[in-house]
């Protein structure tokens, strides 16, 4: 016996190709962002930090968090975040402390070195934002439209994970 969901019309061919192009672009943009960060860190002489670790430091910011919190925010995969947090603690970019309530849980926060890296990434992003505006690459309306569309896709995919499977 096979279980079938509701029968629905297949996506129009033009929509499907547009969807696949958008997916490929998101993937390429993420890899390109990592390359841009890597180049910046090579330029300023911080080669021991990889781009994923730099983004992790940026996303932690001034907060004190657990690996689970970073994972639940959707930034990282489980083993990826644990590995990178451990490395960042070993290299002196983060402090870690066991939770008093749940001894299995470790809370992390940036050290002074970690805040320097966070600021480097923040400065890089600020320069990019300024350059995008100055060169007319994208305006506020365009940025808001892209962000709103990506949020709708995020909600759709999240719903697929929560309610379909």
| 3-state SS track over 42-72 | HHCCCCCCCHHHHHHHHHHCCCCEEHHHHHH
Q: In this predicted structure, what is the pLDDT of residue 117?
A: 96
Q: Which H or E run includes 110?
A: strand 106-110
Region of 61 (left: φ > 0; alpha: ψ -120 to 50; beta: rest) is: left
Other beta carbons less than 10 A from residue 30's beta carbon = 10
Cα separation of 34 and 120, whole Å?
14
Query: Who wins on pLDDT, 77 or 155?
Result: 155
Q: Find, among 57, 56, 58, 50, the residue nearest to 34 by Cα.
A: 50
pLDDT tens for 115-148 read 999 999 999 999 999 999 999 999 999 999 999 9
Ranges of each domain in the chain = 21-160
Q: Is the pLDDT of residue 7 over 60?
A: no
Q: Find, among 91, 67, 90, the residue nearest to 80 by Cα.
A: 67
Structure tokens that stand for 60 in this block:
């932690």
Is the CATH code 1.10.150.80 the one for domain 21-160?
no
Q: In this predicted structure, what is the pLDDT of residue 100?
A: 74
Q: In this predicted structure, what is the pLDDT of residue 133?
A: 95
Q: Which H or E run includes 85?
A: helix 78-90
Q: In this predicted structure, what is the pLDDT of residue 2?
A: 46
């Amino acid at each position: 016996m096979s279980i079938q969901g509701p029968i629905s019309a297949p996506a129009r061919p033009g929509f499907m190709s547009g969807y696949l192009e958008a997916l490929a672009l998101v993937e390429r943009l993420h890899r390109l962002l990592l390359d841009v960060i890597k180049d910046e860190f090579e330029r300023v002489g911080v080669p021991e930090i990889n781009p994923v670790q730099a983004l992790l430091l940026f996303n932690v910011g001034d907060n004190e968090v657990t690996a689970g919190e970073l994972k639940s925010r959707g930034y990282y995969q489980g083993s990826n975040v644990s590995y990178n947090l451990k490395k960042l603690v070993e290299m002196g970019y983060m402090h870690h402390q066991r939770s008093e309530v749940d001894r299995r849980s470790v809370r992390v926060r940036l050290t002074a070195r970690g805040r320097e890296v966070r600021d480097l990434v923040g400065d890089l992003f600020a320069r990019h934002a300024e350059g995008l505006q100055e060169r007319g690459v994208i305006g506020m309306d365009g940025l808001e439209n892209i962000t709103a569309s990506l949020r709708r896709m995020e909600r759709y995919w999240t719903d697929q994970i929560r309610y379909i499977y």
